[in-house]
């Protein structure tokens, strides 16, 4: 199969929810740019009209419907209209979602009263779950109903790295909502495989979008995520287009129940050299003086705090001395290379302290 045929989506009937801006717009763009017929769904009428106009001006076959994804009847009517107009439904991007507000810590590691679980508004919780999880369930349900009639299709749900890694600076409802999306997609993939309906998820890290009013425009928020990226930057929405095209095209014909992480290495949590030194000093202080962890949270930045307590962040070649054996070197230790019960060795990586 030629490369062109492998990624061919020409003529495909596509629905993208939350398509007026951000990642949803990127999905709509890459599908339209490659010849698909795309219906954009969004609650933002002004943004939707602007995006559709720009896609059409670029030569794309695109149109939009103003829909609230939490309105089951409206979504059902939208799907019916797309099938009536396109004759079938081939690809659905279940992407719409909202921000969950601030977490229980701010980017500088200070406690945030609004984000603490005992202060969370019940209506806010319900709204985030309804938009970020329940609407995805309904989108998958409607897509499966149509795709079963025509021999299969592709469903791509937008999850998040928050599905597998908890973030204190992100609103609490966001994590369980996105974890639910990932697990729901795998469950649907297991059920729908026999109908040739492939269900996969994309798990983005920090992207520059309009969610939360453009949160990444906040220097503190942006710096927190930039510092965690192996690539040293926050993603542009164009960075997700290749993955979207892969999952919508024949190139992924044997992929279902998969999740593709696109986060610039954020989950690896790299350390800056200066912060690493701070972390080593803090660990040494904690070992020797057993300082209170609440004080550590209050006195250090959030990034430094994570580095101070997370055993996975220990630099290579450093560990604790245990008896007459060096934990880092894994052999009898003379003690010559130790400083304050921390051992340093360049030839062997350390193992996590149990």
Q: Which residues pair with 14 in a beta bridge?
A: 38, 91
Distance CA 162, CA 172 (A): 10
Q: Tokens 């994309």 — which residue? A: 202
- Reported in sequence order, the residue ranges of 170-242 that DSSP labels E, i.e. its strands, are 197-204
Q: Which residues pair with 342 in a beta bridge?
A: 320, 339
Residues in CB range of 46: below 8 A, 6 or more apart: none
Distance CA 276, CA 282 (A): 10
Q: Find out whether 198 and 155 touch, Cβ atoms under 8 Å.
A: yes
174, 195, 254, 313: which is the annotated catalytic residue?
A: 174
- Catalytic-residue membership of 254: no
H-helix or E-strand containing 331?
strand 331-332
Distance CA 340, CA 87 (A): 72
And the tokens for 159?
């999850």
Residue of 64, 74, 72, 68 whose CA lies nearest to 15: 64
Q: Find out whether 200 and 252 touch, Cβ atoms under 8 Å.
A: yes
Distance CA 240, CA 250 (A): 18
Distance CA 41, CA 47 (A): 11
Question: Which are the catalytic amino acids?
Answer: 174
């Amino acid at each position: 199969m030629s490369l062109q045929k492998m990624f061919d989506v020409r003529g495909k009937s596509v629905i993208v929810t939350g398509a007026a801006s951000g990642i949803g717009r990127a999905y709509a763009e890459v599908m339209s740019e490659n010849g698909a017929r795309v219906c954009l769904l969004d609650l933002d009428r002004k943004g939707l009209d602007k995006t559709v106009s720009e896609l059409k001006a670029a030569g794309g076959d695109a149109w939009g419907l103003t829909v609230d994804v939490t309105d089951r009847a409206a979504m059902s009517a939208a799907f019916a209209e797309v099938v009536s107009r396109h004759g079938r439904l081939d690809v659905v991007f279940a992407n719409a979602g909202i921000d969950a507000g601030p977490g229980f810590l701010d980017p500088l590691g200070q406690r945030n009263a609004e984000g603490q679980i005992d202060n969370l508004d019940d209506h806010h919780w319900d709204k985030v779950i309804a938009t970020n999880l329940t609407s995805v369930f309904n989108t998958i349900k409607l897509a499966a109903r149509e795709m079963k009639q025509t021999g299969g299709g592709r469903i791509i749900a937008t999850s998040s790295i928050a599905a597998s890694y908890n973030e204190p600076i992100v609103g609490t409802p966001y994590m369980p909502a996105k974890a639910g999306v990932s697990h729901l997609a795998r469950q649907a993939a297991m059920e729908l495989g026999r109908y040739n309906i492939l269900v996969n998820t994309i798990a983005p890290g920090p992207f520059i979008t309009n969610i939360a009013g453009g949160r990444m425009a906040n220097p503190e928020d942006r710096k927190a995520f930039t510092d965690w990226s192996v690539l040293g930057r926050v993603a542009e929405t164009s960075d997700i287009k290749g993955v979207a095209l892969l999952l919508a095209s024949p190139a992924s014909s044997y992929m279902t129940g998969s999740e593709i992480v696109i986060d610039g290495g954020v989950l690896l949590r790299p350390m800056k050299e200066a912060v690493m030194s701070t972390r080593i000093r803090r660990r040494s202080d904690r070992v020797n003086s057993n300082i209170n962890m609440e004080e550590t949270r209050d006195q250090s930045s959030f990034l430094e705090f994570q580095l101070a307590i997370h055993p996975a962040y220990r630099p290579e070649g450093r560990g604790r001395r245990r008896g007459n054996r060096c934990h880092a070197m894994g052999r009898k230790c003379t003690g010559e290379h130790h400083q304050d019960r921390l051992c340093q060795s360049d030839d062997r990586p350390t193992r996590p302290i149990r």
